[in-house]
Amino acid sequence: MHVIITPVGSAGDVLPFVALGRELRDRGHEVVVLANEYFQGMVEGAGLSFGHAGSKASYAATMNDPDLWHPYRGGRRLVQQFVAQTPEMFHAVMEQVRPGESVLLCGPGAAGALVAQEKMRLPMAMFYLQPSMLFGFNGPWVSPAMRRSDWVPIWLRRRVFSLSSRLIMDRMVLRPVNEFRAQIGLPAMEDWKRAWLGKPSLAIGLFPEWFARYQHDSSEPARLTGFLFYSDEDARKTPKELTDFLDAGPSPLVFTAGTANRRAPKLFAAAVKATERIGRRGVLLTPFREQVPTELPDNVIQVDYAPLSDVLPRTAAIVHHGGVGTLAQALAAGIPQLIIPHALDQPANAVRVTDLGAGDYLPVKEVDESALIEKLTSLLDNERIRRVARGYAERLAEQDALSETCNLVETLADVRLRSEIKWDAPA
């Protein structure tokens, strides 16, 4: 197959697609990854062909938008940014398409790729990295402020979703996408979910069933394969100063707010004080040094980047933002995790990890030295949580989600050869 992959988002959204692309390449398929040029080194470092779909400046503008990390405005801003990229992504895909040969792999948000898919009738696999993107109504019902309302009946959840769809999503997605569709000769769409998610030949959830049970009321029938792990240790090794730090003493705590979050100085300041108070060593993992206190004690180190797959197995616990890629790495390492969610899918992810018994969460507004000490002490002293976390690591070690996912993707070759494309995703 000629495979076109179109990831959008931050590093945690791109890395699973790099893993997928590398495995498909090793199976003999030709692969090109169309992404923001910010990720060019990551893609080419994996030995994959890269195509530009966005500038570093546009990526920086998105990630520096203060509303992106707002608990209520974050989702809206992200959708607006993705939709604004529709023309650029569309043309990037169209430059790569080989009629009768190409298949398309993308995730929610790659609106331009979906328009190209319809224009060229490409077989397509839609990937859901986050369970919340399947729009089911039986999962955790949690607000961005971390107030759980699981008691809300399904009928009311559906009504709220329907109302927000008409008042918010139709305006943000349908109008601009339909304007662009008209420019290239495609009819207008009436359903924002179809404009946003397309009509895939195949829908795949990149998380295991035990993490988020498939919801049969979801907007898309999807196959769940599991987390896809990719380590770019060959291209970006663990810094020597961090390796030396890990070798020099007991397993530390890791604190990170994600690869793109510039608004976590409060977390890192509290982390430094908390580690000193409880007598633990700490690693502050952030590329934005301005967030970190100028003077760090001997028990704390700051590094811009380190492969989590290399570092986490040597740590006692991780405090992070709740991105699905980071929490999956923590589960694979078998360590407790404390999640401090900001926005988007992070609150629901925090609840899922807590319900699994593998960690806990702390609302971002409550972050301070005392709260961190209380939560971390509770996690580190809890043998049951450590045992449960190790159990999930064992389960992940036994799975081969990458092979299963690639096997499904290769069925698109059959779709490509058919005269009539079968749009129905497998049950």
CATH code linked to domain 240-398: 3.40.50.2000
Task: Extract the residue ranges of the chain whose pLDDT is less than 50.
Answer: 419-427
pLDDT score of 324: 93
Q: Which residues contact 324 (CB under 8 A, 6 or more apart)?
A: 12, 129, 130, 207, 227, 345, 349
Q: Which helix (H) or strand (E) holds 320?
A: strand 317-320
Rounded CA-CA distance 84/150 in Å is 34
Asked if residues 371 and 362 have their Cβ atoms less than 8 Å apart, the reply is yes
Tell the residue number behind the tokens 């699905």, with chain if given.
324
pLDDT of residue 422: 40
| CB 80, CB 168: distance < 8 Å | no
In the beta sheet, which residues pair with residue 44? none
CATH code of domain 2-226+400-417: 3.40.50.2000
Q: Which amino acid is present at 30? A: E
* CA–CA separation, 103 and 105 (whole Å): 7
Read off the pLDDT of residues 89-146 as tens digits, 9 standing for 90 and up: 999 999 999 988 999 999 888 989 999 999 999 999 999 998 888 767 777 878 777 8
DSSP 270: H
Q: Where are the domains of the chain?
A: 2-226+400-417, 240-398
2-226+400-417 and 240-398: identical CATH topology: yes
Cα–Cα distance, 41 to 230 (Å, whole number) = 15
Is pTM beyond 0.75? Reply is yes
State how far the Cα of 106 lies from the Cα of 412, in Å rounded to an integer. 13
What pLDDT is stored for residue 427 in this prediction? 31
8-state DSSP, 131:
G
